Amino acid sequence: MLGPRVVRRKDLDLSLNLKTEQFLKTPDASQANWLISRSMDELADDLVHLDSVSKRFVSGSKRKEIFEDWVKSQAKYDDTQLIIDGQQVMQDWERPYMEAMAKVATKTKGDVLEIGFGMGISASYMLAMGVKSYTVIECNEDVRMEFEKWKKNHPKCDVSLVFGKWQEVIGELGLFDAIFFDTYPLSEIEFEEYVSNSVTFAEHFFEAAASHLKDGGVFTYYSNEIDSVSRRHQRALFKYFKEVSFSICSPLFPPEDCNYWWADSMIVTKCVK
Ligand SMILES: C[S@@+](CC[C@H](N)C(=O)[O-])C[C@H]1O[C@@H](n2cnc3c(N)ncnc32)[C@H](O)[C@@H]1O
């Protein structure tokens, strides 16, 4: 069992050193060998595949640090994007992605909860596709004003906004048929914790999503996955949802200066409670 193991590909060698005989000790050594070889093959194949995808990334721009209190920060809208505290919070190249997730969230045509109103792009798609009611949690004051303007364009629909951070207000809400999560880190601490150190940004919301969905309800979220979903990501989902499925949304065209996404495709996830 012990001793370096090496997996070779044209452009890389991947090696693994196990420090103890007890690690992954299966009844039969061949079982452990199979698990380890499989994991190493997966990582090597993933890296080779990401090498080909990396050629399609846009060059991107540097993200500014988040300094201000997000709640009161000015939200600047133009036709193509929403900027809050210097952050590119939402850009309109994501429309096809928002539309694809809106389709998932409106499958049940029921009561939908969205977290994060932003430019209202996903909200408009969901209303056009048909829902019984639409509730959104939003914590920025200017974005709330934008919601109020948007609401006037939908006088016949049952729409409402709950103001505040979802962490503070979601407990007041009941159960929904579908939940759509697309927020943005509110501080550098959140960025470090939820973007850099989580399997996907929405991971910190999975538990809340599951506890506010009816049985059979559907959850979808901005995923940052390019063309598939990692095993760690899948495990995190299966802790809370009984069925999970994926589709690829492409092509997407993030502009060269986009600082929060680089690739030309993203994964749409449908999780059923
Ligand atoms: C990426 S935008 C949402 C985009 C939206 N899906 C659209 O189609 O336009 C993220 C929004 O989430 C809000 N937000 C960020 N963190 C939040 C939190 N903890 N609770 C509530 N809203 C939050 C931001 O103020 C912003 O309006």
Q: What is the pLDDT of residues 228-252, one digit of tens each?
A: 999 999 999 999 999 999 999 999 9
Ligand 1 touching residue 87 (CB < 6 A) = no
pLDDT at position 68, please?
A: 87
Q: How far apart are CA 121 and CA 151, in angstroms?
A: 13
Domain match, 20 and 124 both: no
Distance CA(180)–CA(159), nearest Å, equals 15
Residues 150 and 97 in one domain: yes
Beta carbons of 241 and 219 less than 8 angstroms apart = yes
Same domain, 134 and 172: yes
pTM score: 0.96
Minimum CA distance residue for ligand 1 atom 3: 118
182 lines ligand 1 (CB under 6 A): yes
Instruction: State residue 1's pLDDT score.
Output: 54
Same domain, 33 and 118: no
Backbone angles phi, psi at 36, to 5 degrees: -70, -45
Nearest CA to ligand 1 atom 13: 116
Cβ 136 under 6 angstroms from ligand 1: no
Alpha-carbon span 89 to 64, nearest angstrom? 12
Give distance in angstroms: CA of 134 to centre of ligand 1: 15
> Which three-class secondary structure string do you get for 217-240?
EEEEECCCCCCCCCHHHHHHHHCC
Average pLDDT, the chain: 96
2 pLDDT above the threshold of 80? no
Which residue is closest in CA terms to ligand 1's atom 20? 165
Q: How far apart are CA 18 and CA 20, in angstroms?
A: 6
Which residue's C-alpha comes closest to atom 27 of ligand 1?
118
Q: pLDDT band at 79, cuts 50/70/90?
A: confident
Q: What is the pLDDT of residues 41-52, one digit of tens each?
A: 999 999 999 999
Whole-number pLDDT of residue 136: 98
Q: Are residues 218 and 267 in the same domain?
A: yes
Which structural domain, as residue segments, surrounds residue 27? 5-54
Beta bridge pairs of residue 243: 272
> H or E element: which one contains 127?
helix 121-129
Q: For ligand 1, what atom is nearest to the CA of residue 186?
A: 16
